[in-house]
Structure 1
Amino acid sequence: MRIWALSDLHLSHPGNRGALESLPAFPEDWLLLAGDVTHGERRLDKCFELLTGKFRQVVWVPGNHELWTVPRTTPPLSGVALYERLVRVARSHGVLTPEDPYPVVEHPAGPVLIAPLFLLYDYSFRPPHIGREDVVRWAREGGTVCGDELLLHPDPFPDRDSWCAARCEDAEARLASHPADLPKILVNHYPLEEQHAVLPRIPRFTPWCGTRRTRGWHRRFNACAVVYGHLHIRGTEWLDGVPFHEVSLGYPKQWDRPRGVAAYLREVRPEMRTAAERKVPIRSASVRDAGAAPRPSATRAAGRVAG
């Protein structure tokens, strides 16, 4: 069996929906969906129905788009209630979620635990001189506005920061409860390391890209690979001997449709050495896909809203 990863399908775009339907079957393999599949329960349900027929097992974590409360949608849920509703949709298709026990997979390289994480962000990926209370204004002054400020509601938590803190504390406890020497694949929509949240075209979008609470989790929890999306910049970064895969498909203009979606599946090959055994001369290195495109959803044009 093989483990594949993909994120940011954005199936609200018809071109992406049609292309996904043409994806061939991988009946022996697992698929890790790292969020931003779509917004709207109906499309998510159809996506799960499609992909569970093509893969042996699908694992899903939500991105910010799944958690959007879009006007005139049914049911009009938000925050935790919306997330829990989507978990039920996933489970109805046998899709594993962050609320399920972490599975241990018998990979050809050895047993590996797959940890789907839902951690959100807390605006801590910001310059040290910018306070939390000023970060949204600071981003707006640079021409960046995030749609989450209008559409992603944290209720019943008072703010997204608090929801993020609760999610991180829960995930930490769950990860710590597993054997330290068991290799783990960590799957989250957002980068776990601030140094990976690099967006040259829209540098002030980083506050919506993760949390410093997850710094060093790849070492602390013996990760053999980390999977994330959100940035729409495909590639692999190596840190402390661990591969960090950004696996976005992206909006229609960000990928080559004639190649098909299958060309953008990223195989996750677990780096099975223990943290103590990983001795690499270069602490951090990166390989970016030649086809990677800059994320267009946050722009410097006044009035445009970023995803």
Structure 2
Amino acid sequence: RCVLFSNRSAAFARLKNWPAALQDAESAVAAKEDFPKAHCRRGMALLGSGLNEDAYVAFARALALEPNDPVALKGRQACISLLPLWSSQRAARWQRRRFGADLARPSGSTKVYAVSDVHFDHKCNEDWAHRIDDFKFREDVLVVAGNMCDTANGLRRALTTLRSKFRRVFYVPGNHEHWVHPSESAKFPDSFTKLMRVLEICDELDVDVHPAAVCRDVFIVPLLSWYTAEFDEDDPFPDPLGKVDQHCRWPIPDTQVWKYMMKLNSAHVSHLYHGTVISCSHFLPRRTLPFSDHFKAAKSMGCARLDEQVRELKGSRRAHVYGHSHRRHVETTDGVMYVNHYHGEDGGKTERAPLLLIYDGRGLISRTEDICDGAPVQRV
């Protein structure tokens, strides 16, 4: 039955009858999940249907079963080329539904807060997130600069909690979200597959991962990022003995990941923005921002090309929220306010660990605010 469905899917694909091709391919996968060709057929049908993100996952699963399958390799490469265009049905739907939803909202009607490195999978931080007032921030926006959770299921719980507290949540994944732990290896053949799932979860929860207006003349622009050894000016070469982010599995050379992340941002950077523009990334965009002086830390800290993209975003007032450095910091350099409001693995042990207000309805600002008024409600 698996071979029958697989062959019929290929026949429908040649006729460009993508719905029928996809239906048969999914039947083939259901009949024999460890048959690489079935996953390839599904990838081809998804690609023909304009579902590039899902197609990537299908080809990656085929390659997990048969690493040298030429059809799967070619299909995966096609997806890698198409993903930076954000031309899939899902991405187009997101842009239609989210980008302009708040364009006419009065600018004084919302505030924007920032936080990074929440590590929700530490119980004290999960408790902290639940302590955020249920009503105080109902008209406001939260920017989360990565490292929410190591696992996809944990991330869903974390974003569900934050989404219930704020009108909108903007989020970019950090290095932890790209990790593929042994417990998830059956679901995610590589780190791009994990990224596709992260984006899918955000879509399901109405968490913003693409640029959007949050009110009149205020835009938030999430930027994907990865680090490059060139960030280390004293020794701008990869460390051959480096063991950072060992749980990541990339389908491209490790040294090329940052370049691909920049490509994924290109379409968003080219949008025309105005007024106040707040961008965000997990990794550092400038070498002058403070971070650990630990030996070779710079090699896994940031990417200078990211700052070029930040500065390509046109606006009369600009801010950039980042994380990763474990250093709370605010500075304004050449017209851009750089903000890191690090929470950290133990941040939730401080009962009222604050958020950072970065837009108060009138302009950019830097001021901490309590997560609740009065006595916090204790979780049972």
TM range (shorter): 0.7 to 0.9
1:100-249 counterparts in 2 under 5 A? 100=210, 102-106=211-215, 111-128=217-234, 130-133=235-238, 135-137=239-241, 145-146=243-244, 148=245, 150-155=246-251, 157-159=252-254, 161-179=255-273, 181-200=274-293, 202-222=294-314, 224-249=318-343
Is the partner of 1:27 in helix, strand or coil?
coil
Letter in 1 for 2:253: P
Q: Is the 8 A contact 2:146 2:323 kept in 1?
A: yes
1:257 corresponds, among 340, 344, 349, to 349
Give the C-alpha shift of residue 198 in structure 1.
2.6
Return the alpha-carbon distance in structure 2 between the equivalents of residues 12 and 21 of structure 1.
Answer: 13
Alpha-carbon contact 1:10-1:38 (below 8 Å) kept:
yes
Higher helix share: 2
2:199 to 78, 87, 90: 87
Contact 1:121 1:210 in 2 (8 A): yes
Q: State the distance in 2 between where 1:209 and 1:112 align.
A: 29
**Which letter does structure 1 place at the counterpart of 2:113?**
W
Q: Deviations over 1:258-279 (max 9, x none)?
A: 4423x1x111128999xxxxxx
Structure 1-normalised TM-score? 0.74
Distance in 2, matches of 1:194 and 1:236, equals: 14
Distance 1:167 1:27, change over 3 A: same
Write the letter of the residue equivalent to 1:193.
Answer: R
Aligned equivalent of 1:96, options 197, 203, 208? 208
Structure 1 residue runs of 5 or longer lacking an equivalent are 274-286, 290-307
Instruction: Find the aligned partners of 2:350 and 2:289 in 1 and give their Cα distance.
Output: 29
> 2:183 aligned with 1:78, yes or no?
no
* Structure 2 unmatched runs, 5+: 1-109, 369-380
Query: In the aligned structure 2, how far is the partner of 1:104 from the partner of 1:94?
Result: 14
Q: Indicate yes or no: 2:374 matched with 1:268.
A: no
Task: Find the aligned partners of 1:260 and 1:77 in 2 and give their Cα distance.
Answer: 39
Q: In terms of mean alpha carbon deviation, does 62-71 or 211-220 score higher?
A: 211-220
Please give the per-residue CA displacement for 1:196-226, whole angstroms capped at 9, x wherever unaligned.
Answer: 15313x2521111111212344433236110
Distance 1:126 1:195 in 2: 11
For the pair shown, the structure with the greater C-alpha radius of gyration is: 2
1:9 to 78, 98, 118: 118
CA contact (8 A) 1:8 1:250 kept: yes
Secondary structure of the 1:63 match is coil
Deviation string for 1:115-160 (max 9, x for gaps)?
A: 01112112211134x2524x344xx6xxxx52x1x111222x232x
Say whether the 8 Å CA contact 1:112–1:184 is kept in structure 2: yes
1:32/1:60 contact within 8 Å kept: yes
Report what 2:78 is aligned to. none
Q: Distance in 1 between matches of 2:348 and 2:180?
A: 30
Residues 225 and 271 of structure 1 are in contact (CA less than 8 Å); yes or no, is this contact kept in structure 2?
A: no
Q: Which amino acid aligns with 1:127?
A: E
The Cα shift of 1:41 comes to: 1.0
The structure carrying a bigger strand percent of its residues is: 1
* TM-score normalised by L of structure 2: 0.61
| Greater RCO, 1 or 2 (C-alpha within 8 Å, sep 6+) | 1
Shift in CA distance, 75/195, structure 1 to aligned 2, threshold 3 Å: same
Deviation at 1:183, TM superposition (A): 3.4
Offset, 1:170: 3.5
